[in-house]
Amino acid sequence: MEQRQQRKASKQRDWSQFLNKSLVKKLIIAGIIVALCGLLVVNIFIWTSDVSKLNKPAPLPTIIYDQNGEIASKISNSSIEGVGIKQIPEEVIHAVVATEDQRFYNHGGINYFAIMKAFVKNMLSGDIVAGGSTVTQQLAKNAFLTHERTYTRKIKELIITKKIERTYSKDEIMERYLNQIYFGEGAWGIQRAAKTYFGKEASELTLSESAMLAGLIKAPSILSPFKNMEKSIERRNLVLSLMEQEGYISASDVKKAKEQPVVLKEEEVEDEYDGKYPYYVDHIIEEAMTKYKLTKNEVLSGGLHIFTELNPTIQKATEEVYQNDNLFPASQSDQLLQSGAIFIAPESGGIQALVGGRGEHTLLGFNRATQLVRQPGSTMKPLAVYTPALEQGYEVFDLLQDSPLNIGGYQPKNFDKQYRGEVTMYDAVVNSYNVPPVWLLNEIGLEQGTKSVERFGISLQEEDHSLGIALGGMHEGTSPLLMAQAYSAFANDGTMAEAHSIQKIEDADGKVIAKWKNKSTKITDPEIAQKITYMLKGVVQEGTGKKAFMDGIDIAGKTGSTQLPFANDAGTKDHWFVGYTPDVVGAVWLGYDQTDETHYLGTSSSGTTPVIFKEILSKAKSELSDEKFALSGIEKKYKNEIKKIKEVMEKARKEQEKEKEKENQKKYNGKGNKEKNKGKKDKDKDKDKDKDENEEDEDE
């Protein structure tokens, strides 16, 4: 009986042990399942988290280089100015790692020991007073989360941190962190911090400066050297000690860094290149987007290096002239008289300089040097008439008709409303007569003229195919850029290079992503171009462009003006001057954006745009060579022609004088006879009067 009870009790103990073991196992299994599920859920959250925002590198300023490879300007659309990891000194990275996250290169984004330590502190204090955040966690918080201190936000932070670590390399994480972290004094990112505190590029920071900036991250408003130099130096020294402990620097390095004086940039730092040459930069952005298919954001924030054709001397000269209101006619009080100018190198087509307007500049606003579309007036004559006429065998000193014309109802008139019967092509060009080129275009054929204009790179509409094209009459018009490009053919022996501002574009790593390919077109023969230059040189020496003349510099060019869209013979709508030297071609436009009865130009173009052109070249004279136009052959040929023409004209003048003298003599003789007869009649009247008086006397 007793044995049976013992056996029973033993069985119960065994069964109880079995049940206990089974429960433990079940609990263990359940715990494992829960953990796996939790891990799966966490990984799902990590996997589905979107950190693509970090794919966009911190906005890097785009650097603009001039034709000499020197920095000319910088552009950016962000208050953050990013730099690549290669431009960040190792001392900065080591200082940040030693101070903020000593196991940065070893952990997977989370320092669990630091988190547990912070958790204990928080539990003891009853509030969240510590975080134990790694560099990656700080990046996650700054880029994606608010700065509220809650456990929910902390969990989100951990999930995003793991996603970042799985997506980016340590260098990529560090680069993004240093470009986004706040260093105080309004400086976001290491580049702005370097400029704000020390007035230099991030790449130029010393060990002492690197340690000081790394020390600011903890409490930038309190540790700023501008506010408390003593605390800032104390913090710097701590950072240097931590760097030594981590093996990044030696004791000797620490000693030297501590001895180095802290030199702050007291005044507000302004980048000398930021916002420089605004209109030229506007055109670069437009060209990068249209020709090379870059987006606006890529250009403004992609850290590109854009090498250009910019000539800083000519650009500065142009900007200085456009800031001098005395060189421009007075504006109406409610609207500024506007203008645009552009200069290009005739051989390469490289845009040397441009200004797109007067007054306040707006980023990517309307650029009158490149985007303006206006009728070009008489500056069109060499393109539409004189070039094709010379190509068909006409000569510079051939006589053209200058008498009243009526061709299908079209009746052009000269500016002075006078007619001279016949004038040479040279005189017609020099004095900008209107009737001769219209007559000449009609003689050679309208189609020859319109084809010539299009050869010069100027598009025409259907409405432009009329004799009015001889005088620049167009339905819409063209731009200073295209006019300068067209005239470059005359300065370059008949070959026209496509105008452009960009030579090449490199990305932030120095890889060439776009490059200019030379595009030149033969427009006419060199001899024809030289003949046009010969006449346009005359315009500047003795014609309507005299105010563009400069001693010692060969200049050729053409003035132009356009009629008002309403009845007013005393004013004009647009003024133009397109001129060139052997080195540079320029186009200047002047007028109101909105022309009406109270906003128009009251003077002729000869007194405005040539003056602006000359002033710009005078200020940029150092960029102009002593080279002369290659016209010796043409001038020699025309020397005899001019002599013969002068002899013929002198003979004609003398004959005209003789004829005039004869006519005057006839008039004089006729007048003498009339006076003689009149005298006789007066004498007879006097006699009759005396007789009557005698008779009266006798009566009395």
First to last CA, the chain: 209
SS3 502: strand
Q: What DSSP state is assigned to residue 547? A: G
How many degrees, rounded to 5, is the angle at CA 690 between CA 687 and CA 695? 125
Given a contact cutoff of 8 angstroms between Cβ atoms, the answer to whether 582 and 625 are in contact is yes
Look up tokens 């995003």; give the residue: 160
Look up tokens 């025309």; give the residue: 638
Distance (Å) of CA 121 to CA 125, 127, 218, 268 = 6, 9, 18, 41
Distance CA 697, CA 690 (A): 10
Q: Are strands 62-65 and 71-75 parallel, antiparallel or unpaired?
A: antiparallel
Distance CA 150, CA 135 (A): 19
What interhelical angle do 229-245 and 207-216 show, nearest 10? 110
The gap from C-alpha 326 to its chain's centroid, in whole angstroms, comes to: 25
Distance (Å) of CA 640 to CA 61, 398, 644 = 62, 14, 6
- Give residue 610's identity as a one-letter amino acid code: P
Residue 208 neighbours by CB distance under 10 Å: 24
Catalytic residues: 100, 378
Distance CA 417, CA 409 (A): 18
Give every CB contact of residue 54 below 8 A, 6+ residues apart in sequence: 139, 143, 164, 167, 168, 176
Distance CA 156, CA 165 (A): 14
Given a contact cutoff of 8 angstroms between Cβ atoms, the answer to whether 606 and 545 are in contact is yes
SS3 689: helix
Distance CA 590, CA 341 (A): 9
Nearest to 412 by CA among 469, 474, 476: 469
Distance CA 625, CA 623 (A): 7
